[in-house]
Each structure stands twice: as C-alpha cells, then as structure tokens.
C-alpha cells in the first residue's frame, strides 16, 4: 500500500477528483500504473488499521464504483484495459462501462489506421531503397591488361582491387582511405 501512496503522491493525483487533476510541470512523467493504483484505491479501499495505532473514530472506507468508472472514462488511454477490467467487481454491468469500452475501441481503431499508413510508408521506403541498391550493385568494373592503379601506377593484374564511386580503381593495398579517392585529394 505504501508503494501505491507513493505513486499517487509523486504525480499529485488526488483521489477526490477522479484523478483528473494531475500536476503539470517539470516533474517525472505519470507512470502508467498510477491510474491502476487509483482504481484499486477506489474499488478496494485500504483498511483503516493500516493507518497504525491512531486512536480515532474512523468509518470503514467504502468502495466508490462511480469514481472508479470516472477514472476509466477519463484516463482510458493511459490504462492497461485488461488489468483495469479485471479490477472491476464481477457484478459490474456492461452499460456502466459502455463509454469506457467505446473509447478504448475507438482509440484502438485509430491506432490501427495509423499503423496501416505507417506500414504502407515503410513498404514504399523499402522498395525505394531496394531500387537504389540494385542501381548501385549493377555497376560493372572491367579490369583489362592495361588497367593501372591510380596510386602506384602499376598494373592491377590479378591483385585485389578497390573501386571508388567515381570509377577510380586502385590496388586494395593502395586504398588507404575508403571515403577519399586519391585523385581528389
Ligand atoms: Zn597500387
């Protein structure tokens, strides 16, 4: 229970307003578990004995389903839907969580549409890169008997060689810097 209190204290959520008032500013981001903790507090309030040996007449806290439903409706996008539904009492009516469920479905549908657009864009980008790769890979490089290295001026022959993007061919050994062509230095 202490961890729950810490969660709630950290983000400044107050139990009186359904968690609607969240402190803004440079504080830490609201952890996704805080609204679940708030739901737990509403649905299964802690026992008064957890306050310690305080000699006060306190009424036993009652579950507040309406406040919990308000948290669901206001913060559906920040809650794990499955965990939130599992916290609700077994006799909760569907009509009581209709607004919450509709919001969740609408949000998921929107996310699905966004992901489909993103998928199409990534597919187009993938095809463009493939095309570029094929273009670069189809460059032919013919080493003739007369072909000489542009660094040491000796024949390339059967030695390993390197080709710069501008077509300059040098011995692999003479290629000291892959990013700078020796003829352009
Ligand atoms: Zn060379």
Give the mean pLDDT of 147-152. Answer: 94
Specify the pLDDT at position 29. Answer: 62
Give the Å distance between the CA of 132 and the centre of ligand 1.
30
Phi-psi region of 37 (alpha: psi -120 to 50; beta: other; left: phi over 0): alpha
Give the Å distance between the CA of 11 and the centre of ligand 1.
67
- Angle made by CA atoms 85, 89, 90, in degrees to the nearest 5: 90
Query: What are 90-129's pLDDT values in tens digits?
Result: 999 999 999 999 999 999 999 999 999 999 999 999 999 9
CA distance 56 to 119: 61
CA distance 64 to 28: 28
Specify the pLDDT at position 101. Answer: 94
CA distance 100 to 144: 74
3-class secondary structure, 55: coil
Most confident of 1-5, 86-90, 135-139: 86-90
Per the CB < 8 A criterion, the answer to whether 76 and 104 are in contact is yes
Give the Å distance between the CA of 83 and the centre of ligand 1.
68
Q: What is the mean pLDDT of the chain?
A: 83
**Which pLDDT band holds residue 15 (cuts at 50, 70, 90)?**
very low
Q: What is the pTM of this model?
A: 0.55
Per the CB < 8 A criterion, the answer to whether 36 and 42 are in contact is no
Query: What are 42-75's pLDDT values in tens digits?
Result: 998 887 777 677 666 777 778 899 999 999 999 9
Give the Å distance between the CA of 140 and the centre of ligand 1.
20
Could you identify the residue written with the tokens 């310690």?
52
Specify the pLDDT at position 131. Answer: 96
């Amino acid at each position: 229970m202490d961890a729950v209190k810490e969660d709630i204290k950290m983000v400044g959520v107050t139990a009186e307003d359904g968690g609607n008032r969240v402190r803004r500013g440079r504080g830490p981001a609201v952890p996704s578990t805080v609204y679940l903790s708030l739901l737990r507090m509403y649905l299964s309030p802690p026992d008064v004995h957890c306050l310690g040996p305080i000699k006060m007449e306190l009424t036993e806290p009652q579950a507040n389903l309406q406040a919990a439903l308000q948290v669901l409706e206001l913060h559906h996008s920040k809650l794990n839907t499955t965990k939130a539904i599992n916290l609700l009492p077994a006799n909760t009516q569907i009509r009581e969580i209709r607004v919450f469920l509709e919001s969740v479905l609408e949000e998921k549908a929107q996310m699905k549409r966004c992901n489909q657009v993103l998928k199409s864009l990534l597919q187009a980008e993938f095809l463009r890169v493939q095309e570029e790769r094929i273009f670069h890979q189809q460059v032919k490089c013919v080493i003739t008997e007369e072909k000489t290295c542009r660094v040491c001026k000796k024949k390339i022959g059967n030695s390993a060689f390197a080709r710069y993007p501008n077509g300059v061919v040098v011995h692999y050994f003479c290629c000291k810097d892959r990013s700078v062509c020796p003829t352009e230095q």
